[in-house]
Structure 1
Amino acid sequence: MDDNLFISYSRDDQVWTYTLWRALETEYNVWIDQKIRAGVDWWREILENIEKCSCFIAVLSPKAVESIYCSAELSYAVALNKPILPLVVKPCDYPVVLDQNRVQFEKIALDAPMENNLVRIVGNIGRMQVRVLKGEFPAKSAPQPPIPEPKPGNLQSVYEIFALAEEAVVQGDVARSMKLFEQVITANSGEISETARERLSEVRLDQAMDEAYRSIRRLAENAATQRGAIAALQAFVKTYGEKGIQHDKAKSNLVVKYDIEVPQAAPAKKSDTSTAETVQDVSKAHNAKIQALTLSQVGQIQLDKRNWDAALRTFVEAYAYDPENWLINYYLGELYIIKRDLDQALAHLEKAQTDAHALPEVQAAIGFVWRLKGQASSQEAERAALFAKAEQCYKTALNLDPTIKDLHGESYWAGLGALQRRLGRYRDAIDSYTRAEEVTPDNSYPIVNLAALLYHDGNLDKAKRYYQRTMRFAEDGLLRNPGDKWARADVITCSLIVQNADVATDLLNRMLREGDVSDQPVIESFVSGLNFLRQSPTPPAGIDSLISMATDWLKQIGK
């Protein structure tokens, strides 16, 4: 059988428990919460290791019995019918769940040598292994319990969570520490909850400083972006001052390397009312920045989920707290592009594009705005000028960082390719979409465009390979959403190239019979795509018939 042991204990007993852990590890696979890696779902990891264990060791003491975490771990082990070895290291009330299940405990003398205790503990583990082999502990299933919440009016449980949060900070597990501090705040238990609120703000500020510095370091590592690194570091020290670099040799070295002056905090004079007011103003501004950073974190989660409307509301609120924050302005610019509010988008992006933050993502997004404005212009001269500005922005940004993407996860090479295709520079567009494919090999957008452009250019064999890939993307899309008309249109076009006109005709007939006026944009785009392929040196057989069918349908719908 597996020799996986799980040790549950209170922080009050950790010195003895750690000694036991090290002693048992020479013979067994021992899991203890010190093995939790930073950044993982720590409560889920605890539960999963209880599920894997062949013996659950409960180190019992008054603090362990009162602990909401130890109690939850023990209850889950009982629910799974795990072999449980309770070790009573200090006099305490025996857990009811163990008493009800008639689980015998082992008394441990803390003043005895570990070798003596170890003989008895290992003997108990061995006897349990024999009982497991005899089938005395058949596995049971049970739903994973939620993370324990502080008990109402029980300050012990609140302080326990606060202590765990501070441990997580020391271990560098920022996500876990923030979640635990939030639990203490939610408990609304007076001073300790207020202290947790202050500590959470400090942890978030430290995290924001670390994330900002990582961006600066990335710029500093690239010779082409040294100027941006210097400007960003200057902004960093102006924002965070000495606190931003203290106790961090790497940051200090970078400040020295670029000869950047760090502002020193002037000592406050108790008798100086104006100084006190200044300190109060600084504190207020600091709290506003923390609130903005907190909202920004929420907004970025919403962006990851592509909940654009919610993200826009969140970043608008964050902007009210910190209107000069370049990151907030950048995200607002991107979100207003999605909303096609181009004037708002440009205003925020230009605010984000300062000398201190000359980031390629911002420059590329500005290029996208100029491109969209050009597409909307009815004046040929104006349109040409806007397209020229767009191309310059795209190229400048991609020269700084060829891997940048928009909020949809598309490479900005694809945006440049779309502009070049619109301008009729098809060879340039092929080059740009090829670069986009290198950055986002699993995205369909560059593949679809390369298929059409290569066919139009007469490179039929290569085009067919891209159409085969486009077909797979479209079919996968229909599996996820059978009502996706755009994917159906892609399948028809691909069928014309990869299979034959008869297959494409049957598919188009069915789509047109089932279609209504809401499908008009799809069919118009489909016809436009076919007309582009028709310009190829070798147009696909049957293409005229498909264009005629779709055009007749559009005329009929328009009546």
Structure 2
Amino acid sequence: MRINMDRSRSLALMLLCAFILLGLLSAATPRAQAQDAPTPTAIPTLIAPEEVLKRAEEALGRTDEVAQSADRALETVSRMLSFLEVAGAIVGIVLALATTAGVSAFIYISRRIDRTLKAAEQLRTSAEQLLRDIQERGEKATRAATLLQIGVQQVIAHNLSAAQQTFEEARALDPHNRAVNYYLGEIYSQLGDPDRAIPLLRASAEEFPQAEAALGYALRLRAARQSDESARKRLYNEAERHFLRALERDPQARDINGASFYAALGGLYRRQERYKDAIDAYERAAHVMPHSSYPLNNLAMLHLMQGDLNQAEGAFRKSLRIAARVVDGDPFDHWARFDLITAQVALGDYKAAEDQFELLAESPPSVGALESFLSGLEALQKSARGSAQTARIIERVKALIAQQRAAQSA
């Protein structure tokens, strides 16, 4: 009788070990899943390189932590598997002893232990696969974060075609990286492709004011291409809502070129012929970026449209001085060169404007940027400063746009 009681205790102890093992494996799985939760990637508030790189390094640190956690979890699973092998051997001995307790008890215990071991094996397989997936995603996220840094440097160097390829590769590795989606969406807009930009920017617009403002700009580009008046108005209204909400969230928000989104809002109002609102928006942009020719050039255009020639000339001269300094320091800053050419045309210095256009054509910018430049020149041509020389430059810009479109299609 005492022997049977000892055997029963042994059987109970072995079963308890098996159930404890199952509990440990079940507890390990949620911890592994917790490591799978996506970590949002912050978007730099400004285009400053040191800020962007700081954020990218933080993202790299987080992905490293995920990889290290996965390694530790795999090591834990390996230790559990070793324990499972030992437990399996013990269970074999237990089953042999159980025969003395009777056939029915043997069958019952055998089935219970078999089910427990199968459940433990399934958990082990699931845990291993989950941890392999975490490691793979961590490696891809690390590579995407590295490409993000490279792409930002390419944007700063005004090499948008190279940046586009870099960000597309990063997005293939990490499709949910909001910073990558934001930058790629902005680049598509700069390249004159709002249809590809809009879905990417919508994906991160709720999270980041820069992305929402960039979405407004992409919608503005799409609206300008609509032949249907009601469709154009609807898109303009949607673009305005996104601009205003983004700028309420962050009045300092800038695009990837460092320009205040107030300027893009001013451009929307100008296209709607809401000149008072446009002037207010460009004045706000000038406050955000006081050393930029961009808002000044557009303010000069608006004063010209309203017949205030003295205000317009003063703003054009100030814009010309700033833009000339910028292109001297950075010959590839095509936005400053656009402002310089526009101011020279407005002030009647057509020879200097033609010379600057030759320099622009040597390294032409994207279609989207050229279309923005063309829009300003066409507005100038409709004003009191319109001339045959201005019309000639407009035709040259149109030809350059056609050339760039052909190059993109090739």
Structure 2 length as normaliser, TM-score?
Answer: 0.58
Cα displacement string for residues 518-557 of structure 1 (whole angstroms, at most 9, x for unaligned residues): 899989964640422x2xxxxxxxx5xx6256558989xx
- Answering whether residue 189 of structure 2 is matched by residue 337 of structure 1, we say yes
| Among 333, 339, 343, the residue aligned to 1:490 | 343
For residue 294 of structure 1, what is the aligned residue in structure 2?
146
- Answering whether residue 382 of structure 2 is matched by residue 531 of structure 1, we say yes
For residue 229 of structure 2, what is the aligned residue in structure 1?
380
SS in 1 for 2:251: coil
- Answering whether residue 125 of structure 2 is matched by residue 283 of structure 1, we say no
Does the CA-based 8 Å contact 1:489-1:526 persist in structure 2? yes
The amino acid that maps onto 1:430 is I
* Whole-angstrom CA distance in 2 between matches of 1:493 and 1:314: 39
Shift of 1:399: 0.5
Shift of 1:409: 1.1
* Whole-angstrom CA distance in 2 between matches of 1:547 and 1:281: 65
| Among 261, 278, 283, the residue aligned to 1:434 | 283
SS in 2 for 1:278: helix
| Among 350, 361, 368, the residue aligned to 1:508 | 350
Call closer, same or farther: CA 1:330–1:477 in 2, change over 3 Å.
closer
SS in 1 for 2:387: helix
For residue 205 of structure 2, what is the aligned residue in structure 1?
353
Call closer, same or farther: CA 1:456–1:401 in 2, change over 3 Å.
same
Call closer, same or farther: CA 1:210–1:446 in 2, change over 3 Å.
same
Does the CA-based 8 Å contact 1:332-1:345 persist in structure 2? yes
Q: How does 1:395-474 map to 2 (within 5 A)?
A: 395-474=244-323
The amino acid that maps onto 1:487 is L
Shift of 1:508: 3.4
- Answering whether residue 160 of structure 2 is matched by residue 308 of structure 1, we say yes
The amino acid that maps onto 1:384 is K
The amino acid that maps onto 2:185 is G
The amino acid that maps onto 1:490 is A
5+ long unaligned stretches in structure 1 = 1-207, 216-235, 245-264, 495-503, 535-542
* Whole-angstrom CA distance in 2 between matches of 1:281 and 1:512: 58
For residue 97 of structure 1, what is the aligned residue in structure 2?
none
Q: How does 1:21-36 map to 2 (within 5 A)?
A: none
* Whole-angstrom CA distance in 2 between matches of 1:306 and 1:552: 27
The amino acid that maps onto 1:334 is E
Does the CA-based 8 Å contact 2:220-2:239 persist in structure 1? yes
Which fold has the larger relative contact order, with Cα–Cα distance below 8 Å and residues 6 or more apart in sequence? Answer: 2
The amino acid that maps onto 1:338 is Q
* Whole-angstrom CA distance in 2 between matches of 1:391 and 1:312: 27
The amino acid that maps onto 2:270 is R
* Whole-angstrom CA distance in 2 between matches of 1:388 and 1:492: 32
Call closer, same or farther: CA 1:306–1:421 in 2, change over 3 Å.
same
The amino acid that maps onto 1:451 is A
* Whole-angstrom CA distance in 2 between matches of 1:474 and 1:335: 23
Cα displacement string for residues 291-348 of structure 1 (whole angstroms, at most 9, x for unaligned residues): 2112212222222222211211111111111111111111111111122222211121
* Whole-angstrom CA distance in 1 between matches of 2:379 and 2:169: 42
* Whole-angstrom CA distance in 2 between matches of 1:452 and 1:412: 18
SS in 2 for 1:403: coil
* Whole-angstrom CA distance in 2 between matches of 1:548 and 1:307: 34
Call closer, same or farther: CA 1:325–1:306 in 2, change over 3 Å.
same
The amino acid that maps onto 2:292 is N
* Whole-angstrom CA distance in 1 between matches of 2:179 and 2:146: 13
SS in 2 for 1:340: coil
Cα displacement string for residues 64-83 of structure 1 (whole angstroms, at most 9, x for unaligned residues): xxxxxxxxxxxxxxxxxxxx
Q: How does 1:216-231 map to 2 (within 5 A)?
A: none
Call closer, same or farther: CA 1:324–1:525 in 2, change over 3 Å.
closer
The amino acid that maps onto 1:296 is L
Call closer, same or farther: CA 1:511–1:394 in 2, change over 3 Å.
closer
* Whole-angstrom CA distance in 1 between matches of 2:144 and 2:44: 19
Call closer, same or farther: CA 1:510–1:461 in 2, change over 3 Å.
closer
Does the CA-based 8 Å contact 2:266-2:278 persist in structure 1? yes
* Whole-angstrom CA distance in 1 between matches of 2:230 and 2:40: 47
Shift of 1:403: 0.5
Shift of 1:418: 0.3
Shift of 1:479: 5.2
For residue 93 of structure 1, what is the aligned residue in structure 2?
none
**Residue correspondences, number:** 282
For residue 117 of structure 2, what is the aligned residue in structure 1?
none
- Answering whether residue 387 of structure 2 is matched by residue 547 of structure 1, we say yes
Does the CA-based 8 Å contact 1:474-1:488 persist in structure 2? no
Call closer, same or farther: CA 1:209–1:442 in 2, change over 3 Å.
farther
For residue 325 of structure 1, what is the aligned residue in structure 2?
177
Does the CA-based 8 Å contact 1:523-1:550 persist in structure 2? no
Does the CA-based 8 Å contact 2:381-2:390 persist in structure 1? no
* Whole-angstrom CA distance in 1 between matches of 2:218 and 2:265: 12
Structure 1 length as normaliser, TM-score?
Answer: 0.44
Shift of 1:438: 0.8
Call closer, same or farther: CA 1:214–1:486 in 2, change over 3 Å.
closer
Does the CA-based 8 Å contact 2:378-2:394 persist in structure 1? no
Does the CA-based 8 Å contact 1:418-1:429 persist in structure 2? yes
Call closer, same or farther: CA 1:435–1:485 in 2, change over 3 Å.
closer
Does the CA-based 8 Å contact 2:345-2:390 persist in structure 1? no
Q: How does 1:69-88 map to 2 (within 5 A)?
A: none
The amino acid that maps onto 1:402 is P
* Whole-angstrom CA distance in 1 between matches of 2:210 and 2:322: 27
The amino acid that maps onto 2:252 is T
The amino acid that maps onto 1:319 is R
Does the CA-based 8 Å contact 2:219-2:235 persist in structure 1? yes
Which structure dedicates a bigger proportion of its chain to helix?
2
* Whole-angstrom CA distance in 2 between matches of 1:313 and 1:457: 43
Call closer, same or farther: CA 1:442–1:209 in 2, change over 3 Å.
farther
Does the CA-based 8 Å contact 2:282-2:295 persist in structure 1? yes
Shift of 1:443: 1.2
Does the CA-based 8 Å contact 1:292-1:321 persist in structure 2? yes
The amino acid that maps onto 1:333 is G
Q: Over aligned residue pairs, what C-alpha RMSD do you find? A: 4.3
SS in 2 for 1:290: helix
Shift of 1:213: 11
